[in-house]
Structure 1
Amino acid sequence: MPARSPGGSHAGRPRQMSEAERRAHLVAVAGTMFLQRGYRATTMDDIAQCAGMSKKTVYQIFPAKSELFDALLTAWLAPFTLPVETGGRSPREVLNDVLCRLVNFALSERQISMTRLLIAETPYSKDIAIVLERQGIGRGKGALERWLAAEAALGTFRIDDPENAAGTLFFAAAGDFLFGLLLRTRPRPSAEDVAAQVERAVTTFCQQVV
């Protein structure tokens, strides 16, 4: 008779993953495979095999590869949608903090790899284009855009277009670093370098809109 664990279950029997755990596992596996092979070259069969699941199980959770990529992109963009915590700080302090967080995240090794994937694959994949449209990238759904809009409504900043302002701020702070990493022409900046560039971007911004 098979040995039993102290809890009464058979020793060595793998624990059954919950639906949420299976979903998270598939997203993680798919993310790794997309980065290694590319979106178009990766099949649902590949993902199922690498995840140790049947193809039927995978399709029960994600009926299409595009839906799996959508879930991956949602996880990838999560830091850009987290609510801005003010904590009683001045708007300038909040802006510095938010931009430092977003820029450092965008410049991380995994995020640079994901950006390269989107650049390489989007022109050739309707799936990715549809997912990007559904995600609303660059259309006011980010936390920075929403916070700038709220502050403009309060009269803190003189901004007519919070979406454009957010994009301008982000690329003023991250642009040189981002392009250098994407093109592999410069090393990853230190946190101190990022903080200094963010401070310059915020100073310029505040001089124009306060």
Structure 2
Amino acid sequence: MSTADDANRKMPRRGRPKSVPDEERRAHILEAAMTAFIDKGFAHVTMADIARQAGMSKRDLYKLFADKRELFADSIAFRRHLIIDLPRPAEEGLPLRETLRRVFRLDLDDRSAAERDALMTLINRESLIFPELNALLYDSGILRSRELVMAWLESEMAAGRIRRADTRRLAGMMMDIVFGVLQPRRRHQGHIDRAAQGEEVLARLDILLAGLAAVA
């Protein structure tokens, strides 16, 4: 056999390139959309901007998403686990304080916590400018954080781990405490000590929960 034949035999055959799985492709687009919305704001972002950010044609983007509103809602849904982690596994069995740490995502690393902060800022900003976006997020069930906290509190009360109370008001108080620390009116300057921030949230929740301790 000739040297040329050996070389041809060793060279890998070129075939059709492997296609990117739909789930991975969708995740990439939603990441690109989130970046565009955070950088420019909903009003100033176009489908062409998102397609360019995702490295694809606008035509292909429209095959997956009907319009900018759908992309906005789906990009928020893709990242909502950074804000609140409910429902919890039934068999978890952690102390209440540790459960709250996980429910309100006080366990995030610096990068994920920064993404959460940007996501909450985006939601708050765009909801004020475009009330219809806020309605879209709530009506679609994407943002139902208070309802999720209420359901979790009800399960804890039913199990006898905390004293009975008005779940709507209690959920509201908890969220005011948590996000009052995570999203203060005055913007953070410089590096945020995430561990200290999380402990501050839990210290405030401890005061609230002291009056809700289960009856022995």
- In structure 2, stretches of 5+ residues that fail to align are 1-7
Q: How much does 1:70 deviate?
A: 1.2
Q: How far did 1:39 drift?
A: 0.9
Structure 1 residue corresponding to 2:47, chosen from 23, 44, 48: 44
User: 1:81, 1:196 → 2: CA distance?
Assistant: 18
Once residues 175 and 107 of structure 1 are traced to their aligned partners in structure 2, the CA distance between those partners, rounded to angstroms, is 19
Q: 1:63 aligns with which of 58, 63, 66?
A: 66
1:161 paired with 2:170, answer no
Given residue 135 of structure 1, which amino acid in structure 2 is its aligned partner? G
Does 1:83 pair with 2:87?
A: yes
Q: 1:209 to 1:47 in 2, by over 3 A?
A: same
Aligned length: 202
TM-score relative to the length of structure 1: 0.77
- Rg: which structure is higher? 2
Unaligned runs of 5+ in 1: none
Calculate percent identity across the aligned residue pairs: 25
Structure-2 change in CA distance of 1:61 and 1:107 (3 Å): closer
Counterpart CA distance in 2 for 1:62 and 1:73 is: 14
Structure 1 contact 107–178 (Cα < 8 Å) conserved: no
User: Is the contact between residue 26 and residue 51 of structure 1 (CA under 8 Å) also seen in structure 2?
Assistant: yes
In structure 2, C-alpha distance between the alignment counterparts of 1:156 and 1:5, rounded to whole Å: 66
Cα 1:150–1:39, aligned 2, differ >3 Å: closer, same or farther?
same
Answer yes or no: is 1:23 the counterpart of 2:26: yes
**What is the RMSD computed on CA atoms of the aligned residues?**
3.2
Distance 1:94 1:177 in 2: 18
Question: What does 1:34-183 align with in structure 2 at a 5 Å threshold?
Answer: 34-79=37-82, 80-85=84-89, 87-99=92-104, 101=106, 108-133=113-138, 134-135=140-141, 137-138=143-144, 140-142=146-148, 144-179=149-184, 183=186
Distance 1:192 1:121 in 2: 29
Query: Which AA in structure 2 matches 1:207?
Result: A
Instruction: For 1:49 and 1:97, locate their aligned partners in 2 and report how far apart those are by CA, in whole Å.
Output: 36
Question: 1:83 is matched by which residue type in structure 2?
Answer: P
Taking structure 1 as reference, are residues 21 and 99 closer, same or farther at Cα in structure 2, changes over 3 Å only? Answer: closer
The 1:23/1:207 distance shift into structure 2, 3 A limit, reads same
